Amino acid sequence: MEENQNLEENTYSQEEVDRITQESIESVLKEVQYDESKVQGWINAICEKVTQQLIELGKPYKYIVHCMIMQRNGAGAFVTTSQWWDTVADGQIIISWPKDKQAKQEQQKNTLHCICSVFAVSMI
């Protein structure tokens, strides 16, 4: 029983990180239109919110939160990542917001696109 508990405490939970990132992005970017003067503030807010909540999880991990906000103009873009780490203990989440279904439901003229990547690197 003790061994299982230790394992849980020392590995990070993919669902938890996913939830934290989604909620942080939603809370900052819900119903906003792209505004050049405000974007810097939003992006810093997202990064700080996510990092804060990740630290509160109290797991033995180092975190890297990378956030990108792009104005929707029809331009193409590709994001790729490669990692050299421990595939068992370390992990990543990449969230693209908004998901297309969401945009259609809300009938919102989406003027921006946000891609947020969270990398968790184990310290043990």
Partner 1 sequence: MDQLTTVTSFNGPLKNDVQKFVQSTLQKELDKSTYDHNDAQLKSNKICDSILKHLTTQNKNFKFIVNCLLMQKAECGLNISGSCFWDNETDGSLTIKHETEAIIGIVNVFACAL
Query: Does residue 67 belong to the site contacting partner 1 (CB under 8 A)?
Result: yes
User: Is there binding between residue 72 and partner 1 (CB under 8 A)?
Assistant: yes
> How many Cβ atoms from other residues are within 10 Å of residue 109's Cβ?
8
Which residue in 101, 120, 98, 95 sits closest to 111, CA to CA?
98
81-100 binders of partner 1 (CB under 8 A) = 81-86, 90, 92
User: From the CB of 4, what's the least distance to partner 1, in Å?
Assistant: 26
Residue 79 contacts partner 1 per CB under 8 A: yes
Burial readout 41-72 (b: 16 or more C-beta within 10 A, e: otherwise): ebbebbbebbbebbeeeebebebebebebeee
- Type of residue found at 34: Y
Return the range that interacts with partner 1 (CB under 8 A); candidates 7-15, 18-26, 65-73, 99-107: 65-73
Q: Which of 17, 21, 97, 119 binds partner 1 (CB under 8 A)?
A: 119
Cα distance between residue 46 and residue 67, in whole Å: 8
Nearer to partner 1, 86 or 105 (CB): 86
Closest CA relative to residue 54, chosen from 11, 12, 117: 12
Contact flag: residue 63 with partner 1 (CB under 8 A):
yes
By CB under 8 A, name the binding residues for partner 1: 34, 36, 39-40, 43-44, 46-48, 50-51, 54-55, 62-86, 90, 92, 117, 119, 121
